[in-house]
Amino acid sequence: MTSHETVSPPTGVLPARFRPPTGSSDARTLSLDGPWRFRLSPTARTGVERSDSGEGWDQIEVPGHWQLAQAPDAWPYGTPAYSNKLFPFPIDPPHVPDENPTGEYRRTVTLPADWPTTGRTSLRFEGVDSWFEVAVNGEVVAVSHGSRLPTEIDLTDVLRPGENLLAVRVTQWSAYSYVEDQDQWWLSGIFRSVTLEHRPEAGIGHAAVTAGYDAASGVGTILVDVEGAAPGTRVSVPELGLNLAPGESASVPVEPWSAERPRLYEVVVTAPGERVVLHAGFRSIAIRDGVFLVNDAPVKLRGVNRHEFDPLRGRTVSPALMEEDVLLMKRHHVNAVRTSHYPPHPHFLDLCDRYGLYVIDENDLETHGFEDERGWEGNPVDDPAWTDVLVDRVTRMVRRDAHHPSIVLWSLGNEAGAGRNIGAMAAAIRALDRTRPIHYEGDWSSDDVDVYSRMYATSEHTALIGQGIEPPLARAEADARRRLMPFLQCEYAHAMGNGPGGLTDYDDLFDAHPRLMGGFIWEWIDHGLSRRDADGTLFSAYGGDFGEAFHDGTFVADGLVLPDRTPSPSLREVAAVFAPVRLDVVPAGDAILVRNRYAFRDTAHVTFAWTLHHGDDVLADGVLDLGALAPGATVTVAPPAGLPLPAADHTPTWWTLRAVQEKADALDAPWFDGRDDAAADGSFVIATGQVAVVPAVALAVPSAAPIRGSVEADGSFTVGSARFDAVGTLLSLGGRRVEGLRVDAWRAPTDNDRRSGMWTGPSDQTVWQESGLHLLAERKISATLDASGALVVEARTAGPRTRNGFRTTYTWTAAADGSVDLRARIVPEGRWDGTVARLGLLLTLAEEHAADVDVTWTGLGPDESYADSRKAAVGGTYRHTVADLGTRYTHPQENGARRGVTHAALRFADGSGLVLDAGPTVYGGVPRAGVELSLRPWSDQALDRAAHPHELVPDGLLHVHLDAAQHGLGSAACGPGVLPNAALHPAPADLTLRFTPSAG
């Protein structure tokens, strides 16, 4: 038998077979999940006999990772460790360190008395990380690896009546760790289910299902091959009246399968000894003229990369969590999943078939750690010694999964460089399945694949590829071949922390160019593992939180959903950008372009409902009859004539159009029904578009009845309910103590701010630090009452070591109604080269219970939005507490900005209030409605310092940002930075604000 440091395909194992849904075969199975006896040794030489029954050992739950056996409270078997691409051990293939935690698992297996005595019995592992050896009754029967691939072992001749001892030895590190270097936690053990399976005599060993569809005729063709079919085996499709022999094909009219309409037909394979019920979907995948087609229609993949992740159990993911992922994706208009970077648990694919998601099934292969040190030297992907191992991997994937209609592409792996084994794997797949194109990103020459794939290509470059004018490859014939391929961004829009920005820029390109077949956002979920801190508080741990000497920190937290699957605002942005019906304001701003972006559905199921509203005051509503728009159809609609328009004030009046699905049909129902976010009437808003029919006009400042400011005996000033010291520092407002009011231009850097766009140049964070923005302080220059009685304060705000700064004129007036008005003109001074994070005012108010302050605002919402992440933001009136306005990103950073806020009413714990009215704002000469409002119970400095959200403690102050503008988000954590259309360069800003305090 081979060892964990030998490079060879698994031994003693059966060829991989198709995995129909659990329970779909009538053959007997016996689950071996549950408690096993367990002992962890520090090295692979465990000193434990295979015949040792493990009496008195610990118990551990299978499936599971040993590092997480007692998470989140205790870590008796070592801790998880996170590294992205660098191997956490010396590059010395196929060797791994002697320090190699090795789990010895023991379990007694007793075949039930009525277990069939004919046929065979096999033992099946769905996933074991990394290398393992299986012994029965003291004798080794198999050695396997391929952590996310199945292993099946024939035990018929070794099992005896009564008790059998099953012994599994699993090493954490092995030769195969070199080809499983995916960016994720290193976690070990038997992490997917184990079953004993009866393989009946004259049963169904392996079945390959092909169900094609001809869109022109509406005819589907089915063919089911059964390997070594026993005489008498039949294949039937009851709904279609088909009864076929294995290998016999039939063509009949069918309803096709697509992610939009996941129509499945029951296929019953009946052999003399076994019956299996499968679900087939008829569909065709093709590439024609460089365009990716499903059922002959161009389809854009609007996808996400999904790792398997449970914050408590790692890659042991329950069926319920898998379903939660699929439901969340469907409800946010995600139509595709790349199973980065390994074949998922097979149940996940059953769910994709059933709910409708296009899948790229990816091989369990990544050798990224070879890249950095010596440019891929020694890469297994180019080493003949590894060919059989890698071919075995894709073979197991394809044989296990090929019956799933949801799979539209095979992927050879991720970030494994180029080399001869890429071709070998592609050939092996083509020998098994010619119905799906092959994907692999790691070799840009694309010699062995069918689609051209890149990750994190900029939108500029994507536009070139879309037009077919990208820079050529050196080899003319490879270039010509690649130019005929559709283009896929297998990863783009890195969703780390607050972001990604710029999603619409990509999505518009996907729509504009037929060659672009879409992309997959990186990535679905933050892999924050639950852990308790010293006080017992649960938090989401990332790299370094387990004391790893070698780790990649927060880079493991880069998903659209937080570790507990709470959608981050970016998922709602994704939903708005990916929506299959899009409602976009036309450039002139007075009408909405309605686009049906479904490939196969008309809009008969969509109601176009509108309201005319001022904040949440609805003035009129109605429904537009647009007929059933065909796939691809567009129509421009304007607000109806004769609307009861109110007089203009500083808050716009909106005409809001919604594309609403009111009820589900049979194919939608699985994701539509039972939504916890359903509207009261159960409807589902597919998309929203909005026109400001009565734009905001300026607040009248000073108001009609101004009252004069005054100078007190000590030289201090009073303007209405606002008190100032003698240099013009605001001390209180409506009796509430003011801790500070100054210009601000910094934010707690996001993960995107911290890194350089496309890995070049300084990060935004560095630029801002060099401008001293994180240490701004204000110097008052003068404070005087002008002739009208307004207090005019001149000030300069700047950071250390620079001459650059901001010169501000604050003009304070008050009115008889108790309101205090402020006009602030902020002018950048000096030589500014780079961007600023924001530009506006930071007002800090004393408030013991700042997190509980209740806020009702009119502006964009309900979620945070930023200049390049605002498709989901809709104008209206919304309400939250300050605590709920914030997003608890796994790694704390800037969050919670609400844009276009023209009115906000704050209610403090003592019942007193403060109403803020704003607008318009002018930035760089361009007017904008309202301000960008952020409210926090802690400072941006504290936000920046915190490593985890639970470390943030309210500081007794309410920190109010009233910004004229804020910098976009970009995707620089991995990819392009903020695009010019959302970058904030310093420019003169005018803010117009009214504060109306009220007593408690």
Q: Measured at CB, which residue is nearest to ligand GAL?
A: 183
Query: Exposure string (b/e) for 516-525, b if CB count within 10 Å is 16 or more?
Result: bbbbbbbbbb
Going by C-alpha positions, the residue among 22, 35, 198, 24 that lies closest to residue 118 is: 198
Distance CA 611, CA 621 (A): 4
Between CA 661 and CA 672 the distance in angstroms is: 9
* Structure-block tokens of residue 804: 């650059």
- Shorter beta-carbon distance to ligand GAL: residue 332 or 494: 494
Q: Which is nearer to ligand GAL, 4 or 439 (CB)?
A: 439
The Cα–Cα gap between 197 and 201 comes to 13
Q: Answer for the pair 592, 584: CB distance below 8 angstroms, yes or no.
A: yes
Please count the other Cβ atoms lying within 10 Å of the Cβ belonging to residue 163: 11
Half-sphere exposure of 363 (CA within 13 A, CB side): 33
Q: Which of 5, 274, 323, 415 is labelled catalytic?
A: 415
Please state the closest distance from residue 493 (CB atom) to ligand GAL, in A: 11
Say which of 133, 152, 441, 491 is annotated catalytic.
491
The residue (of 558 and 584) whose beta carbon lies closer to ligand GAL is 558
| Cis status, amide bond into 920, omega within 30 of 0 | yes
User: Half-sphere exposure of 529 toward its Cβ, with a 13 Å CA cutoff?
Assistant: 31
Tally Cβ neighbours within 10 Å of residue 598.
23
Q: Interface with ligand GAL by CB under 6 A: which residues?
A: 84, 183, 341, 414-415, 455, 491, 494, 522, 555, 558, 974
Cα–Cα distance measured from residue 424 to residue 419, given in angstroms and rounded to the nearest whole number? 9
Q: Find the shortest distance in angstroms from Cβ 267 to ligand GAL.
A: 35
The minimum distance between CB 518 and ligand GAL, in angstroms, equals 17
Indicate the residue among 456 and 857 with the shorter CB distance to ligand GAL: 456
Kindly provide the b/e burial profile for residues 381-407, where b requires at least 16 CB atoms within 10 angstroms of the residue's own CB.
Answer: bbbeebbebbbbbbbbbbbbbbbbbbb
Pick 341 or 907: Cβ nearer ligand GAL: 341
CB of 492 to ligand GAL, least distance (A): 10
CB of 749 to ligand GAL, least distance (A): 18
Residue in 828, 831, 819, 825 with CA at minimum distance from that of residue 794: 825
Return the residue matching tokens 């779909």.
Answer: 24
User: Tokens 């479904």 appear where?
Assistant: 598
User: 988 by DSSP, 3-state: which?
Assistant: coil
Tokens of 852: 């509980």
Instruction: Report how far residue 581's alpha carbon sits from residue 632's, in angstroms, rounded to the nearest whole number.
Output: 10
CB-nearer residue toward ligand GAL: 494 or 605: 494
Q: Of 350 and 491, which has the nearer Cβ to ligand GAL?
A: 491
- From the CB of 321, what's the least distance to ligand GAL, in Å? 21
Q: Where would I find the beta strands (DSSP E) of 758-873?
A: 777-785, 791-798, 805-815, 820-829, 838-846, 854-861
Tokens of 702: 């000073």
Known catalytic residue at 712: no
Please check whether residue 607 is in contact with residue 656, taking contact to mean a CB–CB distance below 8 angstroms: no
Cβ closer to ligand GAL: 560 or 795?
560
Is 455 or 991 the residue whose CB approaches ligand GAL more closely?
455
Q: Please report how close the Cβ of residue 50 comes to ligand GAL at its closest, in angstroms.
A: 37
β-strands 913-918, 957-966: how paired? unpaired
Query: Looking at this protein, which amino acid is placed at residue 3?
Result: S
- d(CA 928, CA 201) in angstroms, rounded, equals 75
Least gap, CB of 522 to ligand GAL (angstroms): 5
CB of 556 to ligand GAL, least distance (A): 8
Give min distance, CB of 798 to ligand GAL, in A. Answer: 37
371 is catalytic: no
Between residues 413 and 986, which has the closer beta carbon with respect to ligand GAL? 413
Query: Could you write out the three-class secondary structure of 264-279?
Result: CEEEEEEECCEEEEEE
Integer Cα distance of 20 and 154 in angstroms: 19
Active site amino acids: 415, 491
